[in-house]
């Protein structure tokens, strides 16, 4: 099998796991990243605030990783754009995950404002990855606006509920020309593998790792699962059938 | 984290994937075993028939693997016992997977005859792994009869349908004192990971690997998934919730 | 469409809902039965104890209903047989639901003891309905032993979890010559409808009705759902497809 | 229990089933409506074309029903608005279901154009029911634009796949101030009951009835199921639990 890489924003990524750092103690981050194999790591801008001194989260992230700041806290396109520019000015590079949220119970993204922010930031040269509600028409508009990939949610952020939007995510994967990266809701390695088996380009995990008793081990588990799912997708899985089909020869020599 | 091994029949197994060989061309078997990392490999006795000469499947299985002959073709306890003894006489060792099947559409196991065969063979010193319909009382009788583990089905053999008996398998895992190894129905790596996350001791996969376009890659995918699920089980996964929970700090510095 | 009745034990039943009374205050029972339309009503023998005087539950059950005493409390076949005979002696008729349970956490039935009790009681002329773990071979043995129907569980008793054993119950429906009545676990009307859509002959509901805020309304809801599911099964449902299919003409006159 | 009605567009509806007519032979429509109890019936404008003479579908719909023309065929807001006005001019009343679709494989709605059409038509006094992709922020915008209810899809139109967007629809029900009517994908009565149990105000069914072998019986089945689900929602269902809970008294008098 040929080398399998995800090309995104001029990078070639081997790992299909993106890791969020929003709920970690900073000192644990390097170990979790190493165990998971993640090459793309998200950070919320508040945590990169330069005045935090040695608490600066970006210092905890290995240089070879792609830093993916998110616009967490933004309630509209304008705020998201402002956060993105700040992140770039602070040295976080030109990748940006757009998160625009005004719903406080389910933290669902606002596709409308997200499209606007995507357009502005893509035009400025950012590699834009919008977090989104899995709606095909909205996703197409994000692609037109210059998104490098789309990040539909599997379930509400932090819920660990799994790939509950599977039917809609499958359609995005089938119909879009950009990578689909499942973000939010992925709570178990089996969920990550399932998303990858459907053809997702990657999965982003944060809460599921951060809330495990042993986050380092859980990071490793997700890294393995993302690879398992991707490998299976490429290996061409067999058909699912209603009936049984003997996996051992049944016609018995005992009955001859 | 301490070294994690599955102790079974006097062996210490590192891999949680058991591999079936029922649908493979013999020459492909060594590669698939190597890619998957499996240490326990099932064979149907017909395939080990000594008269088959170089086609003898056991010659394809690395010496360090545990050979797990099954009694495929047996319609009752007596036939299963006879096949087990033959397997031992042929040099296949003393592990045996009991399969007693008289239903030809769904290939469902006969728990009653399986218990009888378990009792006879365990008394003769076999390491007995019964393939079974996931019924708690039947499983308890198998354990009393001397089973080293039980192998409940996830879905009909060869169907690739997944862990459709999850509710019942969970109960077996909780209530039994022996390892529970999910057998049959596991069609995707995500299914294998899910079983392991529930606390299964291992999973057996055959059709899903054999029917993939690239069985070697698929074997590897299942090996990774079994490890991912087991690692997650040991890492202590976080809670699942109905509502969202921010993984990034939401109170925005933009709004100060 | 021809009149649709369930023939069982010499009766012709129009309702496909069996109602359990185990968790009700006696005085509420007549109303719930009337609202649900149930024609078969289960009672636990303890509640029919003649010495209870006016609390005697059987006095609450309309004469036109079939009384279905269960052997709740039995831990083996012998006890179940003894309870069945007592029920008959007390005037509860000759229908009996066999429940043999020795697991106290999940209240799972013992198929082995249940088969034995079925054989004895069927030979004595009882109309025997065994509560069972959904195992095809066990069900076949119950049928051979004289069961008038089989009652596989959908999920543990009282859990309201739904038809979690769907894959196995479907196989029983397909492979057996007697009616399959889903018992235990049915927690919502949609679960009851789903079981009937698969071809179940009836569903038994107890906890879901008894624990509702308004048990009379919930009884009515389950009666409607059982009828809806049965009607749909007979109406021959259309195919399920992966893709969309316009239900309105799409070629627009606007574009002519 | 108090009388339960759905107040919408100045009407008080008793039935929670909306019926689509897009795939029926006209002559069958009156019977199906009668059997289902539906009080709101959708029609595609092409079918109401006055020049069709006696084939005019509106002639088949009982006067007491609310006619709900849809804008099927519209690819943008402008076309939807034009169809709505035409429908009104043709005497179809002032209810309108907005359907704007430009995706031909999954027939997914365009929330953006739908919001625009909602705004225009609501301002003109239409009772606007937009068919939509289940996105909370889009739904809020439709409500702000004057929608009388929102109609999120359960699965692609005509697929009979069921309530695959359950997680998102639940959130709409919880967060919106207008009725949520599940449209598209509902393929079995159990799906309709499930939607109603979640708190949907109504369900719209078309393909599932039209493609049944016996559409009249299937219409009746869906009418019963919608009522069952609604009744259960109002009856206050009991909790779902992981463990079993005896529905019959277990402490046996046999063991005293």
**Within a domain: D7:** no
- By the 8 A CB rule, do C23 and C218 touch? no
Share of chain A above pLDDT 70, in %: 91
What is chain D's length? 256
Could you confirm whether C116 is annotated as catalytic? no
Full domain range(s) for residue B63:
12-235
Q: Which residues of chain D make contact with A167, given a CB cutoff of 8 A?
A: 155-156, 161, 164-165
- By the 8 A CB rule, do D252 and D215 touch? no
Q: Give the rounded distance of the alpha carbon of B97 from its chain centre.
A: 10
**Within a domain: B169:** yes
**Within a domain: A253:** no
Token digits of residue A143: 């692609």
pLDDT exceeds 80 at position A115: yes
Better pLDDT: B7 or A46: B7
CB of D199 less than 8 A from some CB of C: no
Token digits of residue D195: 């939607």
Active site residue: C14, C27, C97, C170, which one?
C97
3-class secondary-structure state, position C206: coil
pLDDT at position A160: 86
Mean pLDDT rounded to a whole number for chain B: 89
Share of chain B above pLDDT 70, in %: 91
- By the 8 A CB rule, do B70 and B42 touch? yes
Which chains have 3+ CB pairs within 8 A of B? A, C
Alpha-carbon gap, residue B185 to B162, rounded angstroms: 5
| Closest residue to C137, CB basis, from B111, B136, B165 | B111
Q: Per-residue pLDDT tens for A54-83?
A: 456 777 788 889 999 999 999 999 999 999
- By the 8 A CB rule, do B18 and B44 touch? no
- By the 8 A CB rule, do A142 and A133 touch? no
**Within a domain: C256:** no
Q: Which residues of chain C make contact with D47, given a CB cutoff of 8 A?
A: 249
Alpha-carbon gap, residue C84 to C75, rounded angstroms: 13
Among C residues 67-106, those touching chain B with beta carbons less than 8 Å apart: 102-103, 105-106
Mean pLDDT rounded to a whole number for chain D: 89
Q: Which residues of chain A make contact with B237, given a CB cutoff of 8 A?
A: 160, 187-188, 208, 211-212, 218
Rounded (10°) angle between helices A189-198 and A215-235 = 20
Q: Per-residue pLDDT tens for D211-244?
A: 999 999 999 999 999 999 999 999 988 888 777 7
Among C residues 149-168, those touching chain B with beta carbons less than 8 Å apart: 155-156, 161, 164-168
- What φ, ψ does residue B13 adopt, rounded to 5°? -105, 135
Q: Among all residues of D, which ones are annotated catalytic?
A: 97
Q: Which residues of chain D make contact with C250, given a CB cutoff of 8 A?
A: 72-73, 101, 107
Question: For residue A22, what pLDDT band results from cuts at 50, 70 and 90?
Answer: confident
**Within a domain: A66:** yes
Q: Per-residue pLDDT tens for D3-60?
A: 899 999 999 999 999 999 888 877 889 999 999 999 999 988 765 554 555 456 777 7
ipTM attached to this prediction: 0.91
Token digits of residue A165: 């939007």
pLDDT in tens, chain C (256 residues): 568 999 999 999 999 999 998 888 778 899 999 999 999 999 887 655 545 554 567 777 888 899 999 999 999 999 999 999 999 998 889 999 999 998 888 889 999 999 999 999 999 999 999 999 999 999 999 999 999 999 999 988 878 889 999 999 999 999 999 999 999 889 999 999 999 999 999 999 999 999 999 999 999 999 999 999 999 999 988 878 777 777 665 544 555 4
pLDDT at position A239: 79
Residue B244 to residues A22, A104, A155, B178, Cα–Cα distance (Å): 14, 8, 9, 38
Subunit contact A245:B157, Cβ cutoff 8 A: yes
Q: Which residues of chain C make contact with D205, given a CB cutoff of 8 A?
A: none
| Closest residue to C165, CB basis, from B108, B109, B167 | B167
Better pLDDT: B255 or B139: B139
Subunit contact C136:B175, Cβ cutoff 8 A: no
3-class secondary-structure state, position C223: helix
| Residue D94 burial by Cβ neighbours in a 10 Å radius (0-12, 13-18, 19+) | middle
Question: For residue B106, what pLDDT band results from cuts at 50, 70 and 90?
Answer: confident
pLDDT at position B54: 46
Q: What is the mean pLDDT of residues A9-15?
A: 96
Strands of chain D (E only): list them. 6-8, 11-13, 17-20, 40-44, 66-70, 95-98, 127-132, 151-152, 181-183, 202-205
CA proximity to A179, closest of A151, A158, A211: A151
- What φ, ψ does residue B97 adopt, rounded to 5°? -100, 115
Question: Residue C116: how many CA atoms within 13 Å on its side-chain side?
Answer: 14
**Within a domain: B7:** no
Subunit contact A235:B252, Cβ cutoff 8 A: no
Question: Residue D215: how many CA atoms within 13 Å on its side-chain side?
Answer: 22
Beta-carbon contacts of residue D105 (< 8 Å; ≥ 6 apart): A174, A175, C243, C244
Closest C-chain CA to D36: C228
Lowest mean pLDDT among A234-238, C65-69, D252-256: D252-256
**Within a domain: B1:** no
**Within a domain: C253:** no
CA proximity to C207, closest of C191, C193, C188: C188
Beta-carbon contacts of residue B91 (< 8 Å; ≥ 6 apart): B58
Subunit contact C243:D159, Cβ cutoff 8 A: yes
Report the number of distinct structural domains present in chain D. Answer: 1
Strands of B124-164 (E only): list them. 127-132, 151-152
Q: Per-residue pLDDT tens for B158-197?
A: 888 899 999 999 999 999 999 999 998 899 999 999 999 9
pLDDT at position B49: 59
> What is the sign, positive or negative, of the torsion defined by CA atoms of B141, B146, B152, B158?
negative
pLDDT exceeds 60 at position B89: yes
CB of B213 less than 8 A from some CB of A: yes
Token digits of residue A106: 């389910």
Lowest mean pLDDT among A44-48, B206-210, B219-223, C118-122: A44-48
CA proximity to C87, closest of C100, C98, C96: C96
CATH code of the domain containing A184: 3.20.20.70
Helical segments of chain C, H only = 29-36, 45-48, 77-89, 111-123, 136-144, 166-175, 189-198, 207-210, 215-235
Subunit contact C241:D159, Cβ cutoff 8 A: yes
Alpha-carbon gap, residue D53 to D45, rounded angstroms: 14
């Amino acid at each position: 099998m040929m080398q399998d890489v995800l090309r995104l924003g001029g990078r070639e990524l081997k790992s299909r796991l993106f890791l969020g750092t929003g709920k970690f103690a900073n000192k644990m981050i390097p170990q979790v990243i190493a165990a998971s194999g993640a090459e793309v790591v998200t950070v919320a801008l508040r945590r990169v605030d330069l005045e935090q001194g040695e608490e600066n989260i970006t210092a905890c992230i290995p240089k070879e990783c792609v830093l993916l700041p998110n616009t967490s806290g933004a309630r509209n396109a304008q705020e998201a754009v402002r956060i993105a520019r700040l992140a770039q000015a602070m040295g976080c590079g030109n990748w940006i995950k757009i998160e625009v949220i005004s719903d406080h119970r389910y933290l669902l993204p606002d596709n409308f404002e997200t499209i606007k922010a995507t357009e502005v930031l893509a035009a400025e040269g950012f590699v834009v990855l919008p977090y989104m509600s899995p709606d095909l028409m909205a996703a197409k508009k994000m692609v037109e606006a210059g998104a490098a990939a789309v990040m539909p949610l599997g379930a509400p952020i932090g819920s660990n509920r799994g790939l509950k939007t599977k039917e809609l995510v499958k359609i995005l994967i089938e119909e879009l020309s950009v990578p689909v990266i499942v973000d939010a809701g992925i709570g178990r390695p089996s969920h990550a593998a399932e998303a990858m088996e459907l053809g997702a380009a990657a999965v982003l995990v944060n809460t599921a790792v951060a809330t495990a008793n042993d986050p380092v081990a859980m990071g490793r588990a997700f890294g393995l699962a993302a690879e398992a799912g991707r490998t299976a997708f490429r290996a061409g899985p067999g058909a699912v059938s209603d009936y049984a089909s003997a996996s051992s020869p049944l016609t018995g020599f005992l009955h001859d």
